[in-house]
Amino acid sequence: MTEWCYDLHVHTAEVSVCGHLAARDVVDLTASAGYAGIVITDHYYEFFFKRHAGKPWITQVDAYLQGYRNALRAAEARGLTVLLGAEMRFVDDPSDYLVYGIDEDFLVAHPHAYRWDIRWLARETEGTEVRIFQAHPFRRRDTVVPIGSLHGLEVLNGNPRHDSHNEEAWAAAEANDMLMISGSDIHQHEDVGRGGICVPEPLRSNSELVRTLDDNRSMRLLGFEVMQPSDR
């Protein structure tokens, strides 16, 4: 059966200071690894926006979207789908949250969202297509909090330089009947192909991605094996 695979946790050097791959390189590497698409989830937190302090908020948003927009342009030649997401961290919360279903208008309409908290984000996006997953929730032996504000957990994080305690994340998601996702957490070359989801139909939009995440049974979670180029 043909599958289309998507990496849900991807960073670019243009925006994420911990990233070592420019967006065009991320696109080339993931396409060569057999992925049909990626979600750019650059770090959205106070430190990034402090670098652009004093500029109009729309200018700060443009800076945050640089990696995503560069990936979109590079993907045209590779036939790769590129969607926008974010890995958000709030000022008084050390946890990271993968947010899907957002768009550029959402970012513009919610200035400095990192100053709030996860409960605010859950309330603000209730009834919309936005979905919130806690990223690598047990990487530092953190407790999954607050479950009521989350749709699910990243139960498989492929970053090879961290022990994300994926087994604990999987168990917590099962125990609390939460949605599950997998992502490579790409920062550099060795991270490519270590996570993601595979689905029986291609995903071309955030709406299609969100419907798939909500179903959760129609997708296969990739583990940490390196994907081989597909023959799609």
Residue 36 belongs to a domain: yes
Residue 80 belongs to a domain: yes
The H-or-E segment that residue 215 falls in is helix 206-215
Residue 106 belongs to a domain: yes
Residue 229 belongs to a domain: no
Contact, 185 vs 195, CB < 8 A?
yes
Query: Percentage of the chain with pLDDT > 90?
Result: 85
pTM for the structure as a whole: 0.94
Residue 207 CA to residue 200 CA, distance in Å, equals: 16
Residue 230 has pLDDT above 50, yes or no: no
Per-residue pLDDT tens digits for 17-74 = 988 899 999 999 999 999 999 999 999 999 999 999 999 999 999 999 999 999 999 9
Domain CATH code at residue 125 = 3.20.20.140
Contacts of 16 (CB under 8 A, 6+ apart): 42, 43, 67, 187
Q: What is the tally of structural domains in the chain? A: 1
What pLDDT does residue 217 have? 83
Domain range for 95:
4-222
Sign of CA dihedral 82, 20, 222, 3: positive
Measured CA distances, 200 to 1, 209, 212, 218 (Å): 8, 12, 10, 7
Residue 164 belongs to a domain: yes
Residue 232 belongs to a domain: no
Query: Percentage of the chain with pLDDT > 70?
Result: 94
Residue 68 CA to residue 48 CA, distance in Å, equals: 15
Residue 143 has pLDDT above 80, yes or no: no
Beta partners for residue 99, in sequence order: 86, 132
Average of per-residue pLDDT across 122-131: 97
Per-residue pLDDT tens digits for 106-118 = 999 999 999 999 9
Residue 109 belongs to a domain: yes
Residue 145 belongs to a domain: yes
Contacts of 101 (CB under 8 A, 6+ apart): 85, 128, 129, 130, 131, 206, 207, 209, 210
**C-alpha 217 chain-centroid distance:** 19
Average of per-residue pLDDT across 179-190: 96
What pLDDT does residue 148 have? 87
Average of per-residue pLDDT across 190-196: 96
